[in-house]
């Protein structure tokens, strides 16, 4: 007993804290302490374990895999093949083998293994999409409740097309298509017999308001679209990649999984996962925004952290020419002193608004940090949202100093209310 307690304390000091919340837009780290690097991917459950495959933004889009039993702590399982530029890889299991499908040179490349983790070998050459021999962008994947697998594509780069996967792993017949505009990044969620097809607009790496169509059958007809989030939120600065259903003992929770891309789909891209609210009568879906949340994968119940310790700007020290409480620009700073930390990484929410997201950035320095860190490099929702949780290292005790400042063009201004320091374990 004593030993295990000591061990957990030393873990804390080393910063190897286990992840406690899903924080949309924030940098997420794996159990080895490295940034999770799996984009455009999907998550499948096998027994008690979830497997997540995605393209590596730092290693030329090779497929990287991670596993988790709680959707919070992800163990890195490495590259599943050395093939580069395999975009939006997706795990599927159309027969007794394990498959990964992705986009290679605008065609579908599949790879197959006898096991979930490792041993994936290319299965033939990359192929076009039947029946029209279309090339495509953006692989999506959906397993229906009867066990059938469907690959979703932006066929001919505009028409969202759904093709069944044959039991030999080849791309089968077209199940339906949606020719309602220029859409990509498709995913499907099935709720009470209704199929919901989530798609993104085409704006490159910039986020746009993703849409949903519904149909009584995988064959269509598809009705819609409606927005899955308020238009101005641009899908909370993300693009769809996959929908995961957690059918727990007490609740079924549907999870939107999106990528929060940086300006070029590079290594600073993050993830936005959110619970989905389903309106079965209107046949619409809405993302249920929470800055921090998690789902119990056994019960399906979603929970949120208890309010953290608040440090108000009114009690903080304001440095700078302007000296206006709460208003920060390039020549001023708010200093929160005597902030209590647990000793290690923990979540701290910054509650602030910017007057123009394109004109500058808010930044922070912790304790004796000399060069400030832009908040956007810790959470890509910085500036999009007035509550921005970031994971930072605080020293144990009540002597931490957090400096909050801004840098930008003339006229760029940030208004801060305060900060909120979370005890990682306390849930509501
Ligand atoms: C699945 O299909 C592939 C390709 O046809 C085949 O090589 C493999 O043996 C099949 N796996 C099983 C377990 O049937
Ligand atoms: C911070 O703590 C120091 C003692 O450690 C105390 O002197 C000071 O008054 C405190 N400041 C505030 C703002 O509470
Ligand atoms: C925001 O800043 C950008 C970059 O300087 C500028 O182009 C744009 O006009 C500004 N928007 C508003 C509403 O002031
Ligand atoms: C932080 O943001 C400012 C303002 O947008 C920018 O000028 C600066 O280059 C950024 N710093 C880093 C390290 O990206």
What CATH number is attached to the domain comprising 332?
2.60.120.260
The residue whose CA is least distant from atom 11 of ligand 3 is 356
Domain range enclosing 345:
309-421
Compute the distance between CA of residue 362 and CA of residue 382 in angstroms, rounded to an integer. Answer: 8
Residue 169: strand, helix, or coil: coil
Atom of ligand 3 nearest to the CA of 359: 2
pLDDT of amino acid 387: 95
Atom of ligand 2 nearest to the CA of 337: 13
Q: Ligand nearest 111 Cα, by number?
A: 1
Of 144, 180, 189, 182, nearest in space to 163 by CA: 144
Test site for ligand 4: of 355, 377, 407, 409, most ligand atoms within 8 A of the Cβ: 407
Distance from residue 124's CA to the centre of ligand 4 (Å): 45
155 and 118 co-located in one domain: yes
Lookup: tokens for 237: 């600065």
Compute the distance between CA of residue 278 and CA of residue 415 in angstroms, rounded to an integer. Answer: 35
Determine if ligand 2 sits within 6 Å of the CB of residue 337.
yes
pLDDT of amino acid 2: 32
Q: Output phi, psi for 289, to 5 deg.
A: -65, 130
Residue 124 lies in a domain: yes
End-to-end C-alpha distance for the chain, whole angstroms: 28
Compute the distance between CA of residue 18 and CA of residue 93 in angstroms, rounded to an integer. Answer: 30
Domain boundary among 303, 327, 357: 303
Test site for ligand 2: of 312, 336, 338, most ligand atoms within 8 A of the Cβ: 338
* Overall number of domains in the chain: 2
The residue whose CA is least distant from atom 2 of ligand 3 is 359
Give the single-character DSSP code of 17: P
pLDDT (tens, 9 = 90+) of the chain, 428 residues, equals: 333 333 333 333 334 456 789 999 999 999 999 999 999 999 999 999 999 999 999 999 999 999 999 999 999 999 999 999 999 999 999 999 999 999 999 999 999 999 999 999 999 999 999 999 999 999 999 999 999 999 999 999 999 999 999 999 999 999 999 999 999 999 999 999 999 999 999 999 999 999 999 999 999 999 999 999 999 999 999 999 999 999 999 999 999 999 999 999 999 999 999 999 999 999 999 999 999 999 999 999 999 999 999 999 989 988 876 545 567 777 788 999 999 999 999 999 999 999 998 999 999 999 999 999 999 999 999 988 899 999 999 999 999 999 999 998 888 889 999 999 998 766 76
pTM of the model: 0.93
Q: What residues are in contact with ligand 3 under a 6 Å CB criterion?
A: 356, 358-359, 409
| Pairing, β 360-366 against β 107-113 | unpaired
Residue 46 lies in a domain: yes
- CATH number at 235 reads 2.115.10.20
284 and 348 co-located in one domain: no
Atom of ligand 1 nearest to the CA of 112: 3
Compute the distance between CA of residue 428 and CA of residue 31 in angstroms, rounded to an integer. Answer: 25
Distance from residue 114's CA to the centre of ligand 1 (Å): 9
171 and 230 co-located in one domain: yes
182 and 295 co-located in one domain: yes
Compute the distance between CA of residue 363 and CA of residue 373 in angstroms, rounded to an integer. Answer: 5
Q: Ligand nearest 93 Cα, by number?
A: 1
Q: Is the Cβ–Cβ distance between 408 and 367 less than 8 Å?
A: no
Q: Which residue bears the tokens 């995605």?
A: 54
- 9-46 burial string, b = 16+ CB within 10 Å, else e? eeebeeeebebbbbbbbbbbbbbeeeebbbbbbbbbee
pLDDT in tens, 215-263: 999 999 999 999 999 999 999 999 999 999 999 999 999 999 999 999 9
Q: Ligand nearest 338 Cα, by number?
A: 2
Strands (E), 315-359: 317-320, 327-328, 332-341, 344-354
Residue 64 lies in a domain: yes
73 and 170 co-located in one domain: yes
The DSSP annotation for 24-49 comes to TTB--B-TTSSBP--EEEEEEEETTE
Compute the distance between CA of residue 2 and CA of residue 11 in angstroms, rounded to an integer. Answer: 14
pLDDT of amino acid 6: 32
Q: Ligand nearest 383 Cα, by number?
A: 4
Domain boundary among 249, 280, 303: 303
369-to-330, 390, 393, 416 alpha-carbon distances in Å: 18, 16, 11, 21
The DSSP annotation for 235-304 comes to HHH-EEEEEEEEE-SS-EEEEEEEEE--TTS-TT-EEEEEEEEEETTTTEEEE---SSBEE-TTT--EE-
- Is the link from the previous residue into 221 a cis peptide, with omega within 30 of 0? yes
pLDDT of amino acid 7: 35
Compute the distance between CA of residue 201 and CA of residue 211 in angstroms, rounded to an integer. Answer: 8
Residue 116: strand, helix, or coil: coil
Residue 223 CB coordination number (10 Å): 14
Q: Is the Cβ–Cβ distance between 352 and 417 less than 8 Å?
A: yes
251 and 384 co-located in one domain: no
164 and 95 co-located in one domain: yes
273 and 326 co-located in one domain: no
380-to-24, 28, 207, 288, 414 alpha-carbon distances in Å: 9, 11, 11, 18, 17
pLDDT of amino acid 38: 98
Compute the distance between CA of residue 171 and CA of residue 186 in angstroms, rounded to an integer. Answer: 17
297 and 323 co-located in one domain: no
Distance from residue 341's CA to the centre of ligand 2 (Å): 15
């Amino acid at each position: 007993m004593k030993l295990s307690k000591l061990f957990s304390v030393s873990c804390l000091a080393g910063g190897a804290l286990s992840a406690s919340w899903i924080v949309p837009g924030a940098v997420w780290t794996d159990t080895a302490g490295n940034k999770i690097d799996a984009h455009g991917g999907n998550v499948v459950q096998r027994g008690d374990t979830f497997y997540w495959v995605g393209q590596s933004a730092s290693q030329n889009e090779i497929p990287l895999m991670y596993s988790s039993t709680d959707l919070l702590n992800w163990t890195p399982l490495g590259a599943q093949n050395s093939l580069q530029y395999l975009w939006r890889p997706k795990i599927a299991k159309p027969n007794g083998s394990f498959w990964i499908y992705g986009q290679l040179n605008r065609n579908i490349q599949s790879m197959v293994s006898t096991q979930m983790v490792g041993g994936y070998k290319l299965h033939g050459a990359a192929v076009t999409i039947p029946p029209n021999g279309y090339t495509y962008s953006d692989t999506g994947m959906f397993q229906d409740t009867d066990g059938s697998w469907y690959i979703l594509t932006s066929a001919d780069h505009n028409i969202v097309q759904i093709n069944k996967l044959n039991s030999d792993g080849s791309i089968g017949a077209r199940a339906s298509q949606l020719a309602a505009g220029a859409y990509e990044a498709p995913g499907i969620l099935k709720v009470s017999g209704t199929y919901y097809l989530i798609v993104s607009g085409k704006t490159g790496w910039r986020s746009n308001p993703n849409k949903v169509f519904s149909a009584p059958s995988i064959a269509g007809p598809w009705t819609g679209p409606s927005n899955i989030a308020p238009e101005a939120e641009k899908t909370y600065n993300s693009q769809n990649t996959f929908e995961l259903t957690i059918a727990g003992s007490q609740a079924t929770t549907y999870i939107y999984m999106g990528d929060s891309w940086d300006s070029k789909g590079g290594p600073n891209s993050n993830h936005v996962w959110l619970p989905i609210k389903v309106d079965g009568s209107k046949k619409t879906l809405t993302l249920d925004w929470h800055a921090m949340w998690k789902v119990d994968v056994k019960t399906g119940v979603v929970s949120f952290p208890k309010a953290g310790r608040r440090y108000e700007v009114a009690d903080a020290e304001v440095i700078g020419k302007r000296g206006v409480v709460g208003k920060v620009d390039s020549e001023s700073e708010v200093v929160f002193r005597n902030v209590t930390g647990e000793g290690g990484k923990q979540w701290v929410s910054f509650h602030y608004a910017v007057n123009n997201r394109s004109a500058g950035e808010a930044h922070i320095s912790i304790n004796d940090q000399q060069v400030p860190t832009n908040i956007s490099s810790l959470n890509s929702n910085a500036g999009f949202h007035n509550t921005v949780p970031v994971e930072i290292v605080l020293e144990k005790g009540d002597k931490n100093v957090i400096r909050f400042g801004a840098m930008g063009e003339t006229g760029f201004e940030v208004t801060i209310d305060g900060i909120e320091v979370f005890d990682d374990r306390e849930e509501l």
